[in-house]
Amino acid sequence: MRFFACLTVVAAFVSTPASAQHDEWSTSWAASVQGPYPVGNPSAQPDQRFAFPTPPVGANDQTFRLVVRPDLWGRQARLRLSNVFGTRPVTFDGTFVGLRLDGATVVPGTNQSVRFGGKDRVTIAPGEWVWSDAVALPFVADPGALSLAGRKLAVSFHVVGESGPMTWHAKALQTSYVTAPGAGARGREEGEAAFPFSTASWFFLDAVDVTAPAGTPVIVGFGDSITDGTASTMNGDDRWPDVLSRRLHAAYGNRVAVVNAGIGGNQIVGPKEYGPEKPFPGGPSAGQRLERDVLRLSGVTTVIWLEGINDFSKSGNAAVEDVVAGMREGVARMRAGIPGIRVVGGTVVSALGSTIASGAHGFPEQDAKRRALNDFIRSSDLFDGVVDFDAATLDPSAGGIKPEFVPESTMGGAGDRLHPNRAGYLAMGMSIDLALVAPSLAGR
């Protein structure tokens, strides 16, 4: 409490508009949405029947407390709430953001009310999303303070009545919390008593922006489950984008953000149709979600695109030529939408010999297509640079990923020879040239 009291003396400065500080909005955290719940590929998911007894009803007069880790700290923040895959308007109120203490608790005195157009309540139509107003974060007196490194936010909001089908991000690999149905608006509370149920997914919230100096690099990891972090450590923040983030912050401090736009099971060119009436566990195709998950984030300077293995699975069955065409189209749209953006290609990691239960991965034809796509990524002039994730993880003697990268880190077990474990993601994150993805900071 003494620490927080000291921070309050800077409240006048914290409340200064972003324009007066020559700051701009930068996306500090993101989670690509899909849905509606429960269609998706969560990991280590607790039984959700008691929190959400009837999925078509969705949330019912409930408060969510979602735990997220900003990759960049700023004195002001704003939240993006999404009803993109809902089928009816959803009304939110009682929205708060505070510094998470532990579990579902908030550091006393840090919980800040969030408003939308000056009001406590906002209704979001199906297919839409809404940014909140700016909210001052008085506990962020110095955005570069080491005491904030690795800390997480607790974002709480109340769903008024029934939400209907819920927009979500299935694979959070982070524990968040929700009240019982009918519990009402409880986001103001700092304790955990009102939040008995846990979830390993994020619902409705899909981005957090903070104010940061103009030109702050924002790097997006865009891809499938290997970007989303399948088989990494639950609550461990050790996906490859997390490893990259730690390296960049060790080198440059609080002057860069890495955000994750992966969806487990995602494809570049499939499925052809996607929506609340026709969902798919891997979410909308890369092309269908590019606008929302990359172009409409704030301050994006670099994208690392690692994707394609699901296109070549038995459920995707795409031709190499079609995936290459989808990549070309996606890169062209990124460059048209964000002038000066750097687009880095990531070579696709091997799935040869995969033991995944569906049998959709691991066969020789898939690997031949993967190697052909990697040849294109390495040799074409499409990208501004290449990260060779394949070389970082491949066992050349067998053609699959290295044996030490196979046993999975989320629940334990033998692994599926498709998803690297924590050690594999560490190798991937360490293989990235920092100057390639954040050239504006190199040499400073």
pLDDT, tens digit, 9 for 90 and up, residues 147-189: 999 999 999 999 999 999 999 999 999 999 999 999 999 999 9
Residue-level pLDDT at 17:
41
Q: Is 15 a residue whose pLDDT tops 50?
A: no
What percentage of the chain has pLDDT greater than the value 90?
A: 94
The tens digit of pLDDT for each residue in 325-375 reads 999 999 999 999 999 999 999 999 999 999 998 899 999 999 999 999 999
Q: Is 8 a residue whose pLDDT tops 70?
A: no
Residue-level pLDDT at 259:
98
Structure tokens that stand for 56 in this block = 């078509």
How far is Cα 223 from Cα 310, in angstroms, rounded to an integer? 10
Residue-level pLDDT at 21:
53
Contact between 207 and 79 under an 8 Å Cβ cutoff? The reply is yes
Contact between 186 and 138 under an 8 Å Cβ cutoff? The reply is no
Residue-level pLDDT at 43:
98
Q: Is 182 exposed, middle or buried (0-12, 13-18, 19+ CB in 10 A)?
A: exposed
Q: Provide the H-helix boundaries in 71-229.
A: 225-228
Residue-level pLDDT at 134:
98
SS3 92: strand
Q: Is 5 a residue whose pLDDT tops 80?
A: no
Contact between 92 and 159 under an 8 Å Cβ cutoff? The reply is yes
Residue-level pLDDT at 108:
98
- Comparing CA positions, the residue from 269, 189, 244, 228 lying closest to residue 33 is 228
The full length of the chain comes to 444
Query: What backbone torsions phi and psi does residue 199 show, to the nearest 5 degrees?
Result: -145, 150
In the block, which residue shows the tokens 């048209």?
A: 336
- Comparing CA positions, the residue from 153, 141, 149 lying closest to residue 254 is 149
